[in-house]
Amino acid sequence: MQKPFVYSFGAALLVLFILLHTSCKKEESISGTDLELYNMATETEGFTWYQNSDILLNRSAASGHNEAFLRTRYNTVASTHLDATGKVKAQTVFNEGSLIVKELWSNELSINRYAILYKQSEHEFADENGWVWGYINTDKTVKAPSSDKGVSCISCHMQTNNIDNTLMNKYFP
Ligand code: HEC
């Protein structure tokens, strides 16, 4: 075999290897605000559970979320709006910095996704009530980007008897 042929064959193999390697690499589509929301949602310290309970609830019939089970938690800022029974106080307008994380479980063993509400009025993705909407899979891929500004969420979350766009009280009284 001619040496130049061996070299170019080797080079071609190398290129093929690099191409295969990069295309097989898991996509890290998450960045910016979605990554920030993901990091805050996976940090479980300092949260209070809705109705003070971490048991998995059956999704309500009206849920816009497909998973069978859910449970919802409130960070230290948001939890100041919960009463002693762990329900959101009537007429609440959540304070800046409030973070509400709904864990969506496809079965009793695995969380599939986080649905997130983050009160950050000055944020570029905030809606007119100051909420940034996050919808992020546990594998760190994004189901609905926060840059969508809750376009697929808001109409449902504006229904009668919402409290500052939240629905847990209505469906889990
Ligand atoms: C068709 C109606 C509907 C749509 C669309 C919807 N949701 Fe919800 N959401 C609910 C209901 C009902 C609840 C109460 C718990 C349950 O049954 O799932 C809820 C609960 C939540 C909660 C817990 C806080 C609370 O009390 O509301 C968050 C956070 C949330 N949704 C985020 C989102 C995000 C983000 C989107 C869009 C990507 C979205 N939701 C789209 C109906 C909807």
**What pLDDT digit, counting tens, does each position of 25-60 carry?**
444 578 999 999 999 999 978 999 999 999 999 999
Mean pLDDT of the chain: 89
How does residue 61 score in pLDDT terms, banded at 50, 70 and 90?
A: confident
Q: Report how far residue 47's alpha carbon sits from residue 66's, in angstroms, rounded to the nearest whole number.
A: 24
Q: Report how far residue 73's alpha carbon sits from residue 170's, in angstroms, rounded to the nearest whole number.
A: 16
Q: Report how far residue 68's alpha carbon sits from residue 27's, in angstroms, rounded to the nearest whole number.
A: 27
Q: What is the pLDDT of residue 25?
A: 43
Burial group, residue 134, by CB count within 10 angstroms (0-12, 13-18, 19+):
buried
Pocket test for ligand 1, best of 141, 153, 160 (most atoms within 8 A of CB): 153
| Mean pLDDT of all residues in 104-123 | 96
Instruction: Check pocket membership of 112 for ligand 1, CB cut-off 6 A.
Output: no
Q: What is the pLDDT of residue 12?
A: 63
Instruction: Check pocket membership of 167 for ligand 1, CB cut-off 6 A.
Output: yes
CB atoms within 10 A of CB 74: 25
